[in-house]
Amino acid sequence: MELEQVANAIKSMEIRGAGRIARSAAEAIKQQALSYSGNEVEELIERLQEGERILIASRPTAVSLENAVRASLKGIQEVNDVREMKDLVASNADAFIRRSSNAVQIIGEIGARRIRAGQKVMTHCNSSAALSVIKTAHFQGKKIEVVATESRPWRQGLLTVRDLAAANVPVTLIVDSAVRWAMKDVDVVVAGADTICSNGAVINKIGTSQLALAAHEANVPFVICAETYKFSPRTVYGELVEIEERDPSEIARAEELPSSVKIRNPVFDATPPEYIDSIVTEVGVISPYAAYEVIVKEFGLEHIFE
Ligand code: RUB
């Protein structure tokens, strides 16, 4: 796929989930470099920077996308040769993709240690990192059960229950408004993340904060599963995360409602750190309040303030 096609597929949700969009963006920027047929370093840099802008604009909330592109373009300003620059972008992108896929597996192994035999686990939307934890616990023979939310309007919960059913995990689907009702029998909630802010707030699929509130009320641990490239360096210097609002037609068709009715369709929300017990990353389980340290270690202060 050409870079614009990848960006459009991300925009239209054909490619979705913070990890998958990050890996697709890294691959797209690599192809953008490799397909350049000219001989001008400056021209190639411009082409890559244009690609970076297009990809990042395709889903504004997930920092994973921006971090993947930035990781792929790391060091290009220090290279003065087209061939070398292409090789650098290709090897950066490949390393990012490899690291990202390994991270999901490691998170599964670490997170599964937090799930005990016979527990009922609730999850929201469709997160590969959260599913990695759930499936690892299941494959370890822990005989867990899962409650999965539908996740309107895109109903990604259907992907989750199909995936779990295929792995023979006992799973129940509920509508999003049944979360508090279902929480009384749940032992632990695991969910993914699109972006983690320096103050430990987690941005994930709309409704995640409601699961966190209901879990808090019921004294149920609320665990986020996220690779370290989902932490946002920009939030260290005060930038707020833009919450994507998608087209109203995803909620209801215009002809179903009087024209005076307004529809809002925010697709992510922020869960404050006080409702999060822990964040499982590929470098270990951390408190949400350790987010700043992860950002500094992962990205370095020069990168943050450059
Ligand atoms: C998906 C979603 C997922 C995170 C993490 O939203 O909110 O929980 O992206 O996913 P959408 P993963 O369907 O709108 O992309 O763990 O797979 O990276």
Q: What is the pLDDT of residue 305?
A: 63
- List of the chain residues with pLDDT < 70: 302-306
DSSP secondary structure letters along 266-284: B-EEEE-GGG--EEEETTE
Q: Mark whether 225 is an active-site residue.
A: no
Cα–Cα distance measured from residue 95 to residue 289, given in angstroms and rounded to the nearest whole number = 28
Q: What is the pLDDT of residue 306?
A: 59
Question: Percent of the chain having pLDDT more than 90?
Answer: 96
Closest approach atom of ligand 1 to CA 191: 8
Whether 107 is in the pocket of ligand 1, judged by its Cβ within 6 Å, is no
Closest approach atom of ligand 1 to CA 124: 8
Q: Mark whether 194 is an active-site residue.
A: yes
**Do the beta carbons of residue 207 and residue 149 sit within 8 Å?**
yes
- Cα three-residue angle 229-234-238, rounded to 5 degrees: 140
**Do the beta carbons of residue 33 and residue 44 sit within 8 Å?**
yes
Whole-structure pTM value: 0.96
Indicate which residue of 81, 87, 94, 125 is catalytic.
Answer: 125
Q: What is the pLDDT of residues 252-276, one digit of tens each?
A: 998 999 999 999 999 999 999 999 9
Whether 125 is in the pocket of ligand 1, judged by its Cβ within 6 Å, is yes
Whether 16 is in the pocket of ligand 1, judged by its Cβ within 6 Å, is yes
Cα–Cα distance measured from residue 299 to residue 303, given in angstroms and rounded to the nearest whole number = 6
Closest approach atom of ligand 1 to CA 19: 18
- SS3 label, residue 20: helix
Whether 169 is in the pocket of ligand 1, judged by its Cβ within 6 Å, is no
What is the H or E stretch that residue 18 is in? helix 18-34
SS3 content of the chain, % helix, strand, coil (to 5): 55, 15, 35
Residue 86: count other Cβ atoms within 10 Å of its Cβ: 19
Q: What is the pLDDT of residues 37-88, one digit of tens each?
A: 999 999 999 999 999 999 999 999 999 999 999 999 999 999 999 999 999 9
Centre of ligand 1 to C-alpha 16, Å, is 7
Indicate which residue of 176, 194, 225, 277 is catalytic.
Answer: 194
Whether 205 is in the pocket of ligand 1, judged by its Cβ within 6 Å, is yes
C-alpha dist (Å) from residue 197 to 67, 166, 191, 275: 13, 34, 16, 14
Cα–Cα distance measured from residue 19 to residue 195, given in angstroms and rounded to the nearest whole number = 11
Looking at ligand 1, which residue's alpha carbon is closest to its atom 6? 17
Q: What is the pLDDT of residue 1?
A: 84
